Amino acid sequence: MSESTGPKLILDDDWKKSGSTEPKPTGGEPAPPKLVVDSDWKSQAQAEKDRLAKAEEAKKATAKPGDPAGARGQREMPDADFNALVGTLVTQALLYLGGFPDPQTGRAIVSLDYARFHIDLLGVLEAKCKGNLTPEEAADLNQALYELRMRYVEIGKYVENAARKGAAGGAVAPPPAGV
């Protein structure tokens, strides 16, 4: 096997060990990369990591719940747990039962079909999680379902009466309290 007549590849500081002079770029060849390794870089990196972790802990310790998190004013997200799931579904059901005004019109949104869908989802959650919830979670879910179902019936009756009176040309009574 014949030895190559091309340029010799020199890695890192091998040129110092061989006793030759530092290689210089010739023509269009790039100079070999020089690596400068600080023997203390690992301890510096760890110190920086520790400093950032302490700063993050201090930031969390001084933050109050509901305070903006970050420069864009975003709020910290709640924990993704069972209570958050139930709360999300309850909020949606209440929205469609007229519990919150439409931000654009200021009027209540009433859609019994959508409200029933979200109440039914909570019922499915209750059935599927039976025996796997803490007593507190089970009680919270039962209470939420009871209150939503009672409100659904109340709003349903009001909508039915309003439709009858509206068709007959009569005056419509105001909605039940809380709507």
User: d(Cα 86, Cα 60) in Å, to the nearest integer?
Assistant: 27
**Domains of the chain by residue range:** 82-162
Give the pair of three-digit tokens for residue 132.
Answer: 């796997």
Instruction: Judge contact between 156 and 163, C-beta under 8 A.
Output: no
List the one residue out of 115, 121, 102 whose CA is nearest residue 155: 115
- This prediction's pTM: 0.54
Count of helix runs (H) and strand runs (E) in the chain = 5, 4
Tens digit of pLDDT at every position of the chain (179 positions): 455 555 555 555 555 565 656 555 555 666 666 655 565 666 777 777 888 888 888 877 776 655 555 545 577 888 899 999 999 999 999 999 999 888 899 898 899 999 999 999 999 999 999 999 999 999 999 999 999 999 999 999 999 988 888 777 665 555 665 55
